[in-house]
Amino acid sequence: MKKPAVLLLEDGALFPGFSFGCAGEAVGESCFNTSMSGYQEIITDPSYAGQIVAMTAPMIGNYGANNADIESAAPALRGFVVREYSQAYENWRAEESLDAFLIKQHICGIEGVDTRRLTRHIRDRGAMRCIISSADLDPQTLLPKVQASPQMSGLDLASGVTCQKPYVFSENKKYKVIAYDFGVKRNILKMLTAADCAVTVVPADTPAAEVLAQKPDGLFLSNGPGDPAAVTYAIENTRQLIASGVPLFGICLGHQIISLALGAKTFKLKYGHRGGNQPVLDLTTRQVEITAQNHGFAVDPESLQGLPVDITHINLNDQTVEGIAHREKPVFAVQYHPEASPGPHDAGYLFARFTQYLERRKTTP
């Protein structure tokens, strides 16, 4: 028999449903993802730290879960919301049900929610704090718990999902790259390796001098959760990395940190960009890419004026900044996730562009 559960938003909107995954309570920021599949990659993406994710696709769980599609050592999101959870699953790669995977990862889920209504509510009123509970169904006692939880703005969540010490991800490649881990997805590291990069991953607060002393061919700033302006230590380190002249590539939070280090500003989006269907225009080629995205903050385009950077990519839905390139330094970054490949190969050229910078550095006297 299904166990009743509720989802309560901080404005009092109540969504009844049934518990699946780990029973109990979870508090976080509400958001939605429009991807039709890839729920396991979404659940294990560290960029969702502190959030409760609703899937807009009506049925979730029909292909189960496996160990190959995990993007991080431990999921950081707080809860998972679906319209219909499929208890039956069928896929040759499946190792267990989604329900069993959520229980193992201690993630609260709720099914039977009117996710169409929930998504429209968030789009109209903006992302807000919420709670999932199967232990207490009374809105009067749940609402104070939501209101006591922290707002996403001002939170440094990267420090909570970064690695604790440096580690070697790949070896015996042409280029030596050091990657800052702000919540890096494993597939990004795999794509860098496929681009002939030997990748060493370092914690988010590693001093720039310590990294540069290793004489890398290139540097990478990863994706990650939270408010980019709150990751002040990374912003200061990045200023030094940019000044060094070593090629630098950033994705998602890495893009925002590079922009902040150059003197730009960031702001919180009303409800964020999360899904595998975001159209992005490359202003240098006039090509449109279908991209995967997961971010709740963006770079203020007006704050880029007067800085030595060009806006290289824009989002065709709302014209927000999706990419920048430095005019004088080998530095570039994108807001979206080229490694997720929803196109499926629309954005793969970015890793090749990075290796061009690396090759130029190795061959220039």
Nearest CA to 60 among 42, 48, 78, 46? 42
Residue 121 DSSP code: H
Strands 14-21, 108-111: pairing is antiparallel
* CA torsion through residues 86, 89, 91, 95, sign: positive
Rounded distance between C-alpha atoms, residue 251 and residue 347, angstroms: 12
> Known catalytic residues?
252, 337, 339
> How many CA atoms within 13 Å lie on the side-chain side of 9?
20
For the chain, the straight-line distance linking the first and the last C-alpha, in angstroms and rounded, comes to: 71
Q: What are phi and psi of 233, to 5 degrees?
A: -65, -35
Rounded distance between C-alpha atoms, residue 261 and residue 206, angstroms: 16
Rounded distance between C-alpha atoms, residue 307 and residue 327, angstroms: 9
Strands (E), 66-171: 79-81, 84-85, 108-111, 129-133, 167-168
As given in the structure block, the two tokens for residue 326 are 């430095």
Helix (H) or strand (E) holding 59: strand 59-60
Cα 347 to Cα 130, 171, 288, 342, 351, distances in angstroms: 34, 25, 10, 9, 8
Rounded distance between C-alpha atoms, residue 129 and residue 135, angstroms: 18
